[in-house]
Structure 1
Amino acid sequence: MTDEAETTGDEESAEGEPTADEATDGEPTADEATDDGYEYDADGIRAGLDADFAVEYHETLGSSNDRAKTLAAEGAPETVVVADEQTAPRGREGREWSSPAGGVWVSLLVWPDAEPAATPLYTLATAVAITEACREAGVRARIKWPNDVLVGTDGDRGGAKLCGVLTESGQTDGSGTDESSRDDDTAQSGDRWLVIGIGLNANVDPAALPAEADATSLRAERGADVDRRRLLQTVLDRFDELRGDPDAVLPAWREYADTLDRRVRVETPGGTVVGEAVDVRFPGSLVVRTDDGDEVVVTAGDCEHLRPIGN
């Protein structure tokens, strides 16, 4: 399958990528046509989208995050990069991820107004938006700190993984050369960008995903495919609302959190923290009350849900 791109908006594509005029129509999945006649492609996604994002659609792409970072280096406007299939996706800390056709594989380029210290709020806002969109689709999704979206209670994570979020940040002078790029939630001042990658298992068979991922999909949970176009529009519009109201992010995250009031183990750069997750604080830090009664504020780490003591 060749890489065919469609764009809406005024941005120019990077050298070697097809421009909006050169792009072919792209053949979305046949079952993606909705009652209003729109397809899961650039024009279809933009139609009815309230948030002011350009949209770039690819049938096949190596990594939507890499493409979005190329756009950031060029100083492109805020853009949603959508791929029906990714051939070289990755998760946090370089972990492998699988992105077969039928998922919602998206990277969102944004130019944040907030200070770098507030960057984690964007990631948490994304997790909230995804969770609400999945619930509108009939799947009771919840959030494991900081941004995994889960379903159910089984598995090593305390549920089957439905979606992951990878946020990368950096700054650029608009000349096509990045000054920095990192996969944590820090950035330098200046022309600072964020690329928020979303890997949502929508209309895919969980058997097509790595066994170690302990993953599920909307198709598996609903027993039917979901309208990816409307699902993505819901995510983007809700994210846009939340980033415009930062004070609403943490309360919304708490509402859907599966981690709070649970016993957890968090592997952090400074060591292992074990105890009860009691709160999340600005800009997204997890507060863990240890068995000694101390409260430890965790800013980054891998969180595992544990069984209560005595169970």
Structure 2
Amino acid sequence: MLDALADGPVAGPELAADLDVSRAAVWNHVEALREAGVAVESTDDGYAVTDVTGYSAEALAFGLDAPFAVEYRDSVGSTNDLARDLAAEGAGDVAVVADEQTASRGRLDREWVSPPGGVWLSVVCRPDVPPAHAPAYTLAMAVAVARACREAGVDARIKWPNDVLAGDDGGARGGRKLCGVLTEMEGEADRISWLVVGVGLNANVDPDDLPAGADATSLLAERGDPVDRRVLVQRVLEGFDDLRGDLRGAVSAWEEYADTVGRRVRVDTPGGVVEGEAVGVEFPGALVVDTGAETVRVTAGDCEHLRPVDGGD
């Protein structure tokens, strides 16, 4: 029905014929769309979508220029968990979206507060690439989020490997955390079976609802007014869809938005602490750090931005 209405007014009999359903079924579907926040009016020329203000599967799917089916929940424990369940059942190219998460988590199993108003989103993919390329999808999603936030008027930048920041602390350690990206996968030695890329974006989250002491922010706090979450989700999905088709280009794009490159960093890796200046990122997502004694390529770890050794900016 959404696809049939996308190009303008369509008469009821024409809709019924095109969709091979009864006129009563057309009316029932139109009412369902209205309840989901899609304004459908009856005009002299037929049914026409005049406004989309809801936050629902139907509203998010209308006008989405990316090949993702949308699975929406008002509340869910974790969009990543639901996405993993769908992936295990064979699903692919599905975007799981929720208004609220009650049992969400971040990277390294850290708690992630997910009250209503945020963008809690997980994408199920089945890419034909080796598991070693999985980190590039995290970077691609971070770029998609940063671009969507900038379109919304917030100067977003990316901290390696999976945080999107906004605001500034004077140039020393970067901004406050706006979004985190969590990627999970299942596969064999030579190929990925499925990949889930989760996004926790503080969109219209009131500053009072952000975790105390977490140095977090939201688009609402940065802008001073709410953002259209429907449009925001669509831009993220469309951007990610474009970037996943060119993973090397996605890694290059990541450097354009990077807040980490050029800073002194301390990275806690499984093999020990690496400290020095971050000088770049290499495919599929390794952070290149100049320690002064050697150049180290870090593939996994917890990164902290440090103040410059001379105490300046």
Given candidates 131, 135, 160, the residue that maps to 2:146 is: 131
State the Cα distance separating 1:68 from its structure 2 match. 0.5
Counterpart of 1:108 in 2: which secondary structure? strand
Using the alignment, how far apart are the partners of 2:173 and 2:124 within structure 1?
A: 29
Aligned partner letter, 2:257: Y
Corresponding residue for residue 216 of structure 1 = 217
Using the alignment, how far apart are the partners of 2:50 and 2:122 within structure 1?
A: 26
Within a 5 Å distance, the mapping from 1:141-220 to structure 2 comes to 141-154=156-169, 158-171=174-187, 188-189=189-190, 192-220=193-221
Unaligned runs of 5+ in 1: 1-7, 9-20, 172-186
State the Cα distance separating 1:40 from its structure 2 match. 1.1
Asked whether the 8 Å contact 1:143–1:256 carries over to 2, the reply is: yes
State the Cα distance separating 1:214 from its structure 2 match. 1.2
How many equivalent pairs are there? 271
Aligned partner letter, 2:233: L
Asked whether the 8 Å contact 1:42–1:55 carries over to 2, the reply is: yes
Counterpart of 2:145 in 1: which secondary structure? helix
CA distance change for structure 1 residues 191 and 245 in 2, over 3 Å: closer, same or farther? closer
State the Cα distance separating 1:28 from its structure 2 match. 7.2
Corresponding residue for residue 16 of structure 1 = none
Asked whether the 8 Å contact 2:184–2:197 carries over to 1, the reply is: yes
Asked whether the 8 Å contact 2:128–2:192 carries over to 1, the reply is: no
Counterpart of 1:75 in 2: which secondary structure? coil
Corresponding residue for residue 177 of structure 1 = none
Kindly report structure 1 stretches of 4+ aligned residues shifted beyond 3 Å: 24-29, 187-191
For residues 32-55 of structure 1, give each alpha carbon's deviation from its aligned partner in whole angstroms, at most 9, with x where no partner exists. Answer: xx9723411101111111111110
Using the alignment, how far apart are the partners of 1:287 and 1:215 within structure 2?
A: 26
Aligned partner letter, 1:63: S
Using the alignment, how far apart are the partners of 2:207 and 2:231 within structure 1?
A: 22
Corresponding residue for residue 140 of structure 1 = 155
Using the alignment, how far apart are the partners of 1:198 and 1:96 within structure 2?
A: 14
Q: Structure 1 length as normaliser, TM-score?
A: 0.82
Of structures 1 and 2, the larger Rg is shown by: 2
RMSD: 2.4
State the Cα distance separating 1:142 from its structure 2 match. 0.1
Corresponding residue for residue 283 of structure 1 = 284
Corresponding residue for residue 306 of structure 1 = 306
State the Cα distance separating 1:154 from its structure 2 match. 2.3
Asked whether the 8 Å contact 1:49–1:233 carries over to 2, the reply is: yes
Using the alignment, how far apart are the partners of 1:310 and 1:287 within structure 2?
A: 22
1:80 equivalent to 2:95? Answer yes
Identity %: 62
Q: Structure 2 length as normaliser, TM-score?
A: 0.81
Counterpart of 1:211 in 2: which secondary structure? coil
Corresponding residue for residue 40 of structure 2 = none
Aligned partner letter, 2:183: T
Corresponding residue for residue 236 of structure 2 = 235
Corresponding residue for residue 261 of structure 1 = 262
- Larger RCO: Structure 1 or Structure 2 (Cα < 8 Å, ≥ 6 residues apart)? 1
State the Cα distance separating 1:113 from its structure 2 match. 1.6
Counterpart of 1:149 in 2: which secondary structure? strand
Using the alignment, how far apart are the partners of 2:268 and 2:173 within structure 1?
A: 13
Aligned partner letter, 1:165: V
For residues 42-82 of structure 1, give each alpha carbon's deviation from its aligned partner in whole angstroms, at most 9, with x where no partner exists. Answer: 01111111111110110010111110011011001321111
Query: Comparing both structures, which one devotes a greater share of its residues to helix?
Result: 2
For residues 177-199 of structure 1, give each alpha carbon's deviation from its aligned partner in whole angstroms, at most 9, with x where no partner exists. Answer: xxxxxxxxxx6445610111100
